[in-house]
Amino acid sequence: MTNAKISPFVAIARSIGAEVAGVHATAVDRDARFPSESIKALKEHRMLSAYVPKSLGGGGATLGELVLACEALSQHCTSTAMIFAMHQIQVISILRHASDSPWFLEYIRDLVANQNLIASVTSEVGVGGEMRSSVCGLQWEGQSFKLIKHATTISYGAQADDLLVTSRCTPDGPASDQVLSLVRKADYTLEQQGVWDTMGMRGTCSPPFKLTATGKKDQVISTPFAAIASETMVPVSHLLWAGCWLGIAGAAVNKARAFVRMQGRARPGSIPPTALRLAEVASELHMLRASVDSVLREYEYLIAAEGGSADELSSMPYALKINNLKVAGSRKLPEIVSQALLICGIMGYKNDSKFSMSRHLRDAHSGALMVGNDRILATNSSMLLVLKDE
Amino acid sequence: MIDGQIRQILKEHARLAIDLAALDDAADLYQAGMTSHASVNVMLALEGNFDVEFPDRMLKRKVFESVDSIRQALSELMAN
Ligand SMILES: Cc1cc2nc3c(=O)[nH]c(=O)nc-3n(C[C@H](O)[C@H](O)[C@H](O)COP(=O)(O)OP(=O)(O)OC[C@H]3O[C@@H](n4cnc5c(N)ncnc54)[C@H](O)[C@@H]3O)c2cc1C
């Protein structure tokens, strides 16, 4: 890290990563259990309100700091990092699109005080990963609503304090005319519909659930979900996920580096053949980091700019870029981990070795299907029919 | 006349959930059910029909959100 001054948020993430998340990562992965120790530590360090502005009692972190915090956690336990990332995505969506609402301002104060963990309920039976379409709709009775949603995947659904849910505005409205509502633990029930026994990301505990919730009109963000998605949820998700991915890639490459150094020390004077592959994979990791950095810088510039930024963020050229980050990054990641595995050879293949790549490789494969890459490429290919210039 | 052609294209390609004739020129087409995917087809049909090309800076939600905004964008392009 070349930062002259390390952000306090990144420093906390590093120490929680090394001292808590890393200690339990093997058990979390083996038992597909919630990383309760590390989430507790994140709450104790008030990291769940890290992005909330200081004026509202939060930490005032930047998105860039959160990306680095995700990376730091992910080096030790990617499930912890992804839970942290998904929670921040919900907080940022609320702050950017509902902070003019008294109800949501009150909610944010409550979140700062109690470190509420928010889960995301976008995926739904019948639409899969198409976030911009809902089957369920809010059933209104005066100022109150009821909502039933068959969710395919809710990470830490059982452990969350509150949920941010997409739905149609009304049950018979158009599928693409959606809103985002925050429902509180006392007002919903989740019936688990299956198990979460997956290849990787096992600690995210993300089974299907049937959600039944009630709420008041104030709990529905007034900005259409279309705008929240294009201006905030999609770019922020892709950037924070990319932070988690950098952590996986970094952890894998660090193991490969340690392995090659060990070989080098065994026979000083000759460069081990694996060093060539290491040089290659290190350059791939640099490319991945550079692409995350450039998209992050542009996003921070756009949200800092007054006026036309929302326009820019909801434009096709920007959507194409932010989608490319997701597709290219999630494709590159398992390649990098696989390369690192080949460098370590059998020592990387063994589960009981300090060079083991098993969890990294299994976790790495989730990137391409957390919203299927082909689904995203299909969107891009449709946009490329009208987009003109690079 | 241009409005009639815009409405015809929307009718064929916007895949609205409600009857287009019931919508006034300022009504939000996205709220009426036009998806991002359908909006691309609308753009392509408009480009073909009016023999124009929307520059990238115009490819944003606001420009295609209503009959009014589409007419305004087309007039700007056809004036050049
Ligand atoms: C670790 C993890 C955590 C998750 N956490 C959550 C969560 O907290 N909340 C939540 O709501 N969701 C969550 N998800 C779900 C995720 O966001 C996606 O919705 C889900 O993974 C997509 O499911 P699918 O592959 O069955 O569906 P689909 O999106 O239906 O995709 C199935 C296949 O079809 C392809 N496909 C789909 N559409 C097209 C198209 N138009 N053109 C070409 N190919 C296409 C896809 O690429 C894929 O190969 C999580 C997923 C993972 C892996």
Domains of chain B: 2-79 (1.10.1200.10)
What pLDDT score does A218 carry? 98
A175 inside 8 A of chain B by CB = yes
Domain with CATH 2.40.110.10 in chain A: 119-219
Cβ pairs bridging A and B (under 8 Å): 66
Considering only CB atoms, B43 lies closest to which of A176, A379, A386, namely A386
Helix crossing, A274-304 with A63-74: angle to 10°? Answer: 150
Q: What secondary structure letter does DSSP report for A21?
A: I
B44 vs A: CB within 8 A: yes
Residue A103 parent element (H or E): helix A102-114
Q: At A119, give phi and psi (nearest 5°).
A: -100, 165
pLDDT at A3 over 90: no
The CB of A129 under 6 Å from ligand 1? The reply is yes
All CATH 1.10.540.10 domain ranges of chain A, comma separated, are 8-116
How many beta carbons lie within 10 A of that of residue A71, not counting itself?
28
pLDDT band at B80 (very low <50, low <70, confident <90, very high): confident
**Chain B residue numbers touching A317 (CB-CB < 8 A):** 56, 59
**Hey, CA dihedral for B73, B48, A130, A137, is it positive or negative?**
positive
Instruction: Give the distance, in angstroms, between the CA of residue A320 and the centroid of all CA atoms in the same chain.
Output: 19
For an interface test with A, the pick among B37, B43, B65 (most A C-beta atoms closer than 10 Å) comes out as B37
Class of A225-386 per CATH?
mainly alpha
Q: Looking at chain A from residue 317 to 356, which residues have their Cβ under 8 Å from any Cβ of chain B?
A: 317
Measured distance CA(A244)–CA(A79) in Å, rounded: 9
**B37 vs A: CB within 8 A:** yes
Whether A51 contacts A87, CB under 8 Å: no
B30 touches chain A (CB under 8 A): yes
Percent of chain A predicted with pLDDT > 70 = 98
Whether residue A4 has pLDDT greater than 90: no
> Buried b / exposed e across A42-66, counting CB within 10 Å, b at 16+?
beebbbbbbbbeeeeebbebbbbbb
Q: In the predicted model, what is the mean pLDDT of residues A168-190?
A: 96
Res A11 pLDDT > 60: yes
Q: Is A8-116 a domain of CATH 3.40.50.1110?
A: no
By the 10 Å C-beta count (0-12 exposed, 13-18 middle, 19+ buried), A94 is classed as: buried
CA distance A252 to chain B (A): 38
Pocket test for ligand 1, best of A80, A123, A193, A323 (most atoms within 8 A of CB): A123
In the β-sheet with A118-121, what is the strand arrangement from edge to edge? A118-121, A162-168, A178-184
Nearest chain A alpha carbon to B33: A174
Q: Is A93 on the interface with B (CB under 8 A)?
A: no
CATH number of A119-219: 2.40.110.10
Q: What is the pLDDT of residue B1?
A: 76
Asked if A173's CB is within 8 angstroms of B56's CB, the reply is no
Locate B65 and state its tokens. 């959100």
β-strands A188-192, A209-216 pairing = antiparallel
Quick one: pLDDT at residue A389?
84
User: pLDDT (tens digit, 9 = 90+) per residue, A184-229?
Assistant: 999 999 999 999 999 999 999 999 999 999 999 999 999 999 999 9
Residue with tokens 């015809």: B8
Closest-CA residue of B relative to A175 is: B33
Residue bearing the bigger pLDDT, A130 or A88: A88
pLDDT at A135: 97
Task: Assess whether the C-beta atom of A154 lies below 6 angstroms from ligand 1.
Answer: yes
High-pLDDT (> 90) share of chain A, %:
93
Closest partner CB to B61 (pick from A133, A314, A387): A314
Taking CB atoms and an 8 Å cutoff, what residues of chain A touch B62? 311, 314
Model confidence, pTM: 0.95
As annotated, the residues of chain A forming the CATH 1.20.140.10 domain(s) are 225-386
Mind giving me the DSSP string for B3-48?
HHHHHHHHHHHS--SS-GGGS-TTS-TTTTT--HHHHHHHHHHHHH
- Write out pLDDT tens, residues A282-306: 999 999 999 999 999 999 999 888 6
Residue A171 pLDDT > 80: yes
- Pocket lining: A204 vs ligand 1, CB cutoff 6 Å: yes
| pLDDT for residue A2 is more than 70 | no
pLDDT digits (tens, 9 = 90+) for B7-58: 999 999 999 988 888 999 999 999 899 998 899 999 999 999 999 999 999 9
ipTM: 0.87
Provide the pLDDT for residue A307: 59
* Residue A315 to residue B30, Cβ atoms within 8 A: no
**Is there a contact between B62 and A311 if contact means CB atoms under 8 Å apart?**
yes
If residue A87 lies in a helix (H) or strand (E), which one and from where to where?
A: helix A78-98
> What's the rounded mean pLDDT across residues A154-179?
96
Q: Are A347 and A353 in contact (CB under 8 A)?
A: yes
Q: Provide the pLDDT for residue B18.
A: 85
pLDDT on residue A311: 79
- Per-residue pLDDT tens digits for A127-140: 988 899 999 999 99
pLDDT-wise least confident of A200-209, A254-263, A305-314: A305-314
Rounded to the nearest angstrom, the distance between the alpha carbon of A371 and the centre of ligand 1 is 4
Q: What is the pLDDT of residue A310?
A: 74
- Res A163: pLDDT: 98
Tell me how far the alpha carbon of residue B77 lies from the centroid of ligand 1, in angstroms.
39
